[in-house]
């Protein structure tokens, strides 16, 4: 008996179609509004099947794509209930973990991550050393970055995303209910990681968007009226203590949250029928005043080495990407008073307690014998 041929999806979505349907035109579940920021093209309706996807983005054999499809099927009911019933998962429940897992995977599966890795791979060989003449020895790092971009590397990365969930269970989460006439929008990179705390401190050591950082905030629009906000409760408060749903009637706050979608995107924002061409163009023009996120960078710092290692010098090579910094100010989202007493003196001070994994900044320590320096 002939073996049945395995179906492999060619057009692989990096923002799930179920999620895009939450923003569909007049809730038809088939089309969505689109604005291309690079071509300056606005369309009221385009097929969801054609949006936020790429040919064989994840694999050629269907294994990772099938894993993602099952992951999406498990997650979809949780997110639909948020905006349909204003219902959030119970803290520390299975659905709480599933919610966080979906958010981590949504972040890590985005093509922007693969682009960052590729750009870092290209930049590394030309990176100048701070402790010796010439370039940093980067062969081992380049090979590692290449590995992360393979189909097998993507599979390994996304399937291990569950490990990051434990680092996020200490964060609080609420719904923001948009009661203004300006609708929430999404983009080709819809989950926004922000950090008002480190932004206010002018913190420049590493990324401000690592999953384990103090002051972390995650904003994920759910449809044109609701947004999921996940945040560090030791730094911020959102609404009152008892509120799970926080209504915002300030248009400027909504516009700022939408502005983050433009700045976090690669080339596309999407929206429901409630977003006019004028509104989208206004946000687009406003976004030009700020630096976009996800611009790859490599920094090299000379380090102090203990005297007993007299024959060594050391450098720290930091690989990361630009942060979102717009001096965000959102109605009913405020710093708690004790956050002002937190001291930041070192790299470790920026992380929340018991954090195991860091999400965005790759830090490599290089030790070089003095007699090998040029």
CA torsion angle 213 216 221 227 (round to 10): 140
pLDDT of residue 4: 41
pLDDT tens, per residue, the chain with 374 residues = 444 445 778 889 999 999 999 999 999 999 999 999 999 999 999 999 999 989 888 887 888 888 899 999 999 999 999 999 999 999 999 999 999 999 999 999 999 989 999 999 998 888 887 766 777 767 778 888 888 888 888 888 888 888 889 999 999 999 999 999 999 999 999 999 999 999 999 988 778 888 999 999 999 999 999 999 999 999 999 999 999 999 999 999 999 999 999 999 999 999 999 999 999 999 999 999 999 999 998 888 777 777 776 677 777 788 888 999 999 999 999 999 999 999 998 878 899 988 877 655 666 666 666 554 44
Q: Which structure tokens are listed for 126?
A: 């030309």
pLDDT of residue 361: 63
Q: Among 253, 258, 275, 276, which Cα is nearest to 324's?
A: 258
Contact predicate 103/191, CB 8 Å? yes
Return d(Cα 73, Cα 68) in angstroms, integer: 9
Which residues have a Cβ under 8 Å from the Cβ of 76 and sit 6 or more positions away? 16, 18, 19
Question: Model-level pTM?
Answer: 0.91
Strand partners, 32: 46
Return d(Cα 18, Cα 75) in angstroms, integer: 10
pLDDT of residue 370: 53
How many other C-beta atoms lie within 10 A of the C-beta of residue 282?
14
* Strand boundaries in 263-349, DSSP class E: 268-271, 296-303, 312-321, 333-335
Burial class (CB in 10 A: 0-12, 13-18, 19+), 116: buried
Q: Among 42, 43, 46, which Cα is nearest to 28's?
A: 46
**How would you classify the pairing of strands 245-248 and 172-178?**
parallel
Strand partners, 318: 299, 363
């Amino acid at each position: 008996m002939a073996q049945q041929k395995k179906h492999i999806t060619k057009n692989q979505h990096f923002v799930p179609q179920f999620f895009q349907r939450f923003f569909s035109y007049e809730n038809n579940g088939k089309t969505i509004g689109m604005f291309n920021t690079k071509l300056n093209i606005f369309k009221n309706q385009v097929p969801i099947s054609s949006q936020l996807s790429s040919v064989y983005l994840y694999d050629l054999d269907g294994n990772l794509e099938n894993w993602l499809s099952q992951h999406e099927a498990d997650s979809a009911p949780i997110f639909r209930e948020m905006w349909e019933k204003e219902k959030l998962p119970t803290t520390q429940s299975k659905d709480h973990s599933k919610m966080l897992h979906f958010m981590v995977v949504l972040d890590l599966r985005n093509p922007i991550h693969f682009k960052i890795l590729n750009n870092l791979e290209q930049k590394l060989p030309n990176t100048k050393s701070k402790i010796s003449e010439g370039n940093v020895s980067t062969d081992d790092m380049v090979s590692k970055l290449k590995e992360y971009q393979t189909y097998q590397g993507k599979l390994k990365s996304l399937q291990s995303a569950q490990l990051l969930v434990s680092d996020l269970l200490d964060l609080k989460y609420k719904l923001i209910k948009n009661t203004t006439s300006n609708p929430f929008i999404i983009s080709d990179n819809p989950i926004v990681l922000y950090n008002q705390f480190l932004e206010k401190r002018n913190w420049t050591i590493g990324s401000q968007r690592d999953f384990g950082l103090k002051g972390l905030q995650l904003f994920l629009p759910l449809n044109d009226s609701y947004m999921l906000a996940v945040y560090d409760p030791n730094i911020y408060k959102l609404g009152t203590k008892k509120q799970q749903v926080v209504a915002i009637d300030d248009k400027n706050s909504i516009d700022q949250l939408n502005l983050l979608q433009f700045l976090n995107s690669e080339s596309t924002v999407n929206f429901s029928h409630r977003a006019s061409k004028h509104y989208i163009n206004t946000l687009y023009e406003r976004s030009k005043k700020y630096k976009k996120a996800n611009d790859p960078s490599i920094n090299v710092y000379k380090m102090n080495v203990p005297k007993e290692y007299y024959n060594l010098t050391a450098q720290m090579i930091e690989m990361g990407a630009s942060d979102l910094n717009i001096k965000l100010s959102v109605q009913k989202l405020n710093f708690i008073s004790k956050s002002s007493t937190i001291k930041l003196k070192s790299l470790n001070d920026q992380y929340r307690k018991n954090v195991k994994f860091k999400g965005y900044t790759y830090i490599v320590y290089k030790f070089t014998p003095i007699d090998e320096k040029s």
